[in-house]
Structure 1
Amino acid sequence: MRLSGLEARKRFAAARVARLATAGADGQPLVVPVTFAVETGGAGGDRGDARGGADPPATIVTIVDHKPKSTRTELRRLRDIRANPLVSLLVDHYDDEWARLWWARADGLARIVEAGDPRHAAAAAALTARYRQYRQVPPTGPAIVVAVTRWSGWAYSESPTAP
């Protein structure tokens, strides 16, 4: 069953990890797991649907953190966003009991914000509040700020805890 924008956003926000999908100027897709925070009241929003109606605007933030990477400033996801700001983020729940399956997706426009910008500090604060690991080592790399333009999702059943 199709999820309303509001329900998709609710399930998305409760997840601990998302997959960020980008594509560069060459159209080659890239999908990477990211930690994230959903902020309400930012730019973006939900176009709504017949079942869910309009939803307050939301922004999703993620930051290149201290976990081992080949580089912190020239990651392909950052190059892709500079070339093509259209992105999607996906969260899902799998269970061998398929009545519990669901996924939620946020589509939007991304921009990169560097450390020193007040918007970066706000993103770092949101992530630090959400993940205890960042309280020990706050994220300092470039932030990706996504203005959500559409929430969508699917679930086998209405209840995320169906038997």
Structure 2
Amino acid sequence: MRLSGLEARKRFAAARVARLATTGVDGQPLVVPVTFALEAVGESDGDGDPGDGARRGGIRAATVVTVVDHKPKSTRTGLRRLRDIRDNPLVSLLVDHYDDDWARLWWARADGKARIVEAGDPRHAAAVAALTARYPQYQQVPPTGPAIVVAVTRWSGWSYADSPGAIRTTPGPPRPREF
């Protein structure tokens, strides 16, 4: 079943990792896992029509931020995701929940326009602070690379189950495998 913009955003916010999808000038897609934080910036219901938030009960639109961190990479400033965003700022971020009980499957996506913010910019410091608050791993070594700031224009998602009670947004114990 299709998720409302509000429900997609809630599930997205509860996830711990997202996949960032970019496209280069050559049309080649790239998908990479990223840590992220959400920052509220205004009123919208998140379904792509920013003017109708009040009619549908409204949720706060958001900016999704991620910062290139210290984990090993071939390069920190020449990363393909950064080149792609400079060439084509339209991106998607996807989170999902997989369970062997397929009635618990769901995904949520944030589509938007990204920009790169370098260290020294106050916006960079805010992104680092948001990530450090969300992930204890960054408290010892905060990320220092370029920040990717995504202004979300649309929230969407899907869930197998109709009932929100059937959905678990935090990981549970692994299910035993049958062979």
Q: Contact 2:44/2:59 (CA < 8 Å) preserved in 1?
A: no
Identity of aligned residues (%): 81
Matches within 5 A, 1:1-163: 1-41=1-41, 46=46, 47=48, 53=56, 54-162=58-166
TM-score by length of structure 1 reads 0.93
- In 1, the alpha carbon distance for the partners of 2:129 and 2:150 equals 16
**Structure 2 unaligned spans of 5+:** 168-179
The structure with more radius of gyration: 2
Q: Displacement, 1:55? A: 2.9
- In 1, the alpha carbon distance for the partners of 2:104 and 2:45 equals 27
Q: Displacement, 1:15? A: 0.1
**Structure 1 unaligned spans of 5+:** none
Partner of 2:171: none
- In 2, the alpha carbon distance for the partners of 1:43 and 1:101 equals 29
Deviations 1:49-73 (A, max 9, x none): 9xx9343220000000000000000
Partner of 2:177: none
TM-score by length of structure 2 reads 0.85
Q: Displacement, 1:158? A: 3.2
